[in-house]
Structure 1
């Protein structure tokens, strides 16, 4: 186990050539909007079919599990359910758990590289600076066999926030 190299990437998470792409899923595990919708669209019907097969009852907030990546340029999608701050789910421990559990699943799969979105920072309304801090601090503090971790931001302002937080350590 080691500490992975952590980098900020500006771009589309569905285009990342890594072993595993992390999906900010909802508890139903049947696709949705934002990152979840983009991953399901880019991955194709195999991702949804695998979600239905592996997670017939969905997935709990803070937990993670994997499916095929379908047509994505990755081998696996690691789905994790972040807390919905806008709906009153404000336990930061659940957000931290998403990153820890996703890295644990990556270790179980033998993934050497992984790309994360900022979990709960979109439609789920987690305050952006705290979402960035939770992601970076948790990834840097988690023992894992993963060598490379990317935090992928779709917009330049968020990318700059992530870069600044990584540089701060």
Structure 2
């Protein structure tokens, strides 16, 4: 499924984000920047040691205590068919505390960094919906609304690379409600 929001083309696909030929792949990273499970682990494994080496340099410098939730930082994409990886740390979902703005910051700051890099194509996973337990419908709404409101700049296309029917259906339903 695809459509346009502002001047940015939106595509929602069931795909492995590590196989997409885009300028920027957004990594749902953990704060250590040193790899982990899910999307983060897949990006580090398939991207190779160059990504980890740059993440270690970031940790040795400005991000010594790790990357804060909602922030974004870029590294090489290593062996991935992308130019850069933008790492962002999503919030853990809470039934008692509204952390929606932090999830929006992940998308907003990743897009701003991608624009600064001159990227024309950006691929996002469903940030925070794995082990951080964010409900899919809510995450889809926040992600798509944030992309809808963001300045496009050089970005021409945003791809939501999701896994499974539930994620694709949630994102498509939200996309259709914004169209």
Deviations 1:33-71 (A, max 9, x none): 000000001100111111111233221101001000000
Q: TM-score, normalized by length of structure 1?
A: 0.94
Residue of structure 1 equivalent to 2:167:
158
Residue of structure 2 equivalent to 1:31:
35
Residue of structure 2 equivalent to 1:63:
71
SS class of match (1:77): strand
Q: How does 1:82-121 map to 2 (within 5 A)?
A: 82-85=90-93, 90-121=98-129
Q: How does 1:108-147 map to 2 (within 5 A)?
A: 108-145=116-153, 146-147=155-156
Please, which runs of 5 or more residues in structure 2 have no aligned partner? 1-5
Q: TM-score, normalized by length of structure 2?
A: 0.89
Give the Cα separation in 2 of the matches to 1:105 and 1:89.
27
Report how far residue 144 of structure 1 moved.
2.3
| CA RMSD in angstroms, aligned pairs only | 1.5
Query: Are 2:137 and 2:174, in contact at CA under 8 Å, matched by a contact in 1?
Result: no
Report how far residue 89 of structure 1 moved.
6.8
Give the Cα separation in 1 of the matches to 2:92 and 2:130.
10
**What is the total number of aligned residue pairs between the two structures?**
168
Deviations 1:98-118 (A, max 9, x none): 000000000110000000001
Give the Cα separation in 1 of the matches to 2:37 and 2:116.
28
